């Protein structure tokens, strides 16, 4: 909050002629899967409560957010804001992952100015300071809970930008130049990696939707259209549910002694 990520993202999209997707990801998820946009937004921005962690419907909502983000990525030529893309799109050659940062005090001043402009009245600086600090904590806790990683870990990004001295246009120019390098050209192998992750995630949504399978801990792997279900027990119901997903060539199972970690960690 206050670092200028959305403004930089929109400038990058305009410069490259790419699609810009932020809240549109949540709106698309709600429309396509018939879910509540308010609940999707809540789970997108904060760590689930203790009750929500025990709720199978929460798992479904989280998986739908991830699936929709991956589907946007599959279309290519897109600037995606947040939503754990730095983890979900890891190791894909044509993905350029960027972290935009700025000193805390500067981010508070920027957030204060923006809120005052939106509300047309004086905003309490202490309230905004607490809001920025709370937003930082929520995003960090959410990312650590789902992916067991520190959101500030530089290994999650190809570029980490300090927006203290960089203007929006300067930052956008740096990113656009990097994105146009041959290192990040889209190749068939990269497209297949994204397609496999989309397919695996769609299967996870299907499993999380059906009452017969949503209570089990099942991870899903996909390679060139072949899906493998990994679970502590071979579940015929899970195989049947997986077969209903479009684009799947075959389904395999792999039994393990210890149930796998929740799918949204994988």
Q: Are residues 141 and 211 in the same domain?
A: no
Same domain, 147 and 24: yes
Q: Which residues contact residue 130 at a Cβ distance below 8 angstroms, ignoring those fewer than 6 apart?
A: none
- Domain end marker among 147, 168, 184: 184
Give yes or no: residues 223 and 102 share one domain.
no
261, pLDDT greater than 70: no
- Indicate the Cα dihedral angle 9, 13, 14, 17, nearest 10°: 180
Q: Global pTM? A: 0.92
- Count structural domains, the chain: 2
Q: Quick one: 125 and 194 in the same domain?
A: no
pLDDT of 28 strictly over 80: yes
Which of 184, 209, 238 terminates a domain? The answer is: 184
For position 76, which CATH number holds?
A: 3.40.50.300
**Residue 197 and residue 138 share a domain:** no
Percent of the chain, pLDDT > 90? Answer: 81
| CA–CA gap between residue 141 and residue 147 (Å, rounded) | 10
Q: In the 8-state DSSP scheme, what is residue 55?
A: -
What's the rounded Cα separation, in Å, for the pair 193 and 200? 11
Residues 33 and 157 in one domain: yes
Average pLDDT over residues 50-79: 93
| 174 and 194, same domain (yes or no) | no
Same domain, 45 and 152: yes
Q: 66 and 16, same structural domain?
A: yes
Q: Could you tell me whether strands 250-255 and 226-231 are parallel, antiparallel, or unpaired per DSSP bridges?
A: parallel
The yes-or-no verdict on residue 183 having pLDDT over 80 is yes
Q: Identify whether residues 56 and 170 lie together within a single domain.
A: yes
Please write the tens of the pLDDT for every residue from 234-260.
Answer: 689 999 999 999 999 999 999 888 866
- pLDDT for 260 equals 67
The last residue of a domain, from among 166, 184, 202:
184
Query: What is the domain range of residue 153?
Result: 5-184
Please tell me whether residues 156 and 201 are part of one structural domain.
no
* 112 and 14 assigned to the same domain: yes
Task: Give 20's strand partners.
Answer: 79
């Amino acid at each position: 909050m206050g670092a200028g990520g959305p403004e930089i993202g929109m400038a990058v999209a305009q410069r490259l002629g790419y699609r810009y997707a932020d809240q549109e990801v949540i709106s698309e998820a709600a429309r396509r899967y018939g879910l509540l946009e308010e609940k999707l937004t809540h789970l997108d921005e904060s760590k689930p409560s203790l009750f929500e962690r025990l709720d199978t419907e929460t798992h479904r909502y989280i998986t739908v957010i991830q699936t929709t983000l991956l589907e946007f990525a599959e279309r290519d030529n897109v600037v995606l804001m947040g939503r754990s893309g730095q983890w979900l799109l890891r190791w894909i050659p044509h993905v350029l992952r960027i972290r935009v940062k700025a000193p805390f005090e500067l981010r508070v001043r920027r957030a204060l100015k923006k809120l005052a402009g939106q509300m047309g009245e004086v905003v309490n600086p202490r309230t905004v300071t607490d809001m920025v600090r709370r937003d930082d904590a929520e995003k960090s806790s959410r990312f650590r809970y789902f992916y067991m990683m520190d959101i500030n870990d530089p290994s999650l990004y190809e570029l980490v930008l300090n927006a203290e001295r960089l203007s929006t246009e300067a930052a956008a120019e740096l990113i656009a130049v990097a994105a146009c390098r041959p290192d990040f050209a889209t190749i068939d192998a990269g497209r297949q990696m994204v397609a496999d992750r989309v397919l695996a995630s769609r299967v996870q949504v299907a499993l999380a939707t059906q009452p017969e399978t949503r209570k089990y801990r099942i991870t899903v792997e996909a390679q060139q259209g072949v899906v493998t279900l990994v679970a502590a027990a071979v579940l015929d119901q899970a195989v049947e549910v997986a077969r209903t997903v479009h684009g799947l060539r075959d389904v395999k199972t792999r039994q393990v002694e210890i149930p796998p970690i929740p799918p949204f960690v994988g």
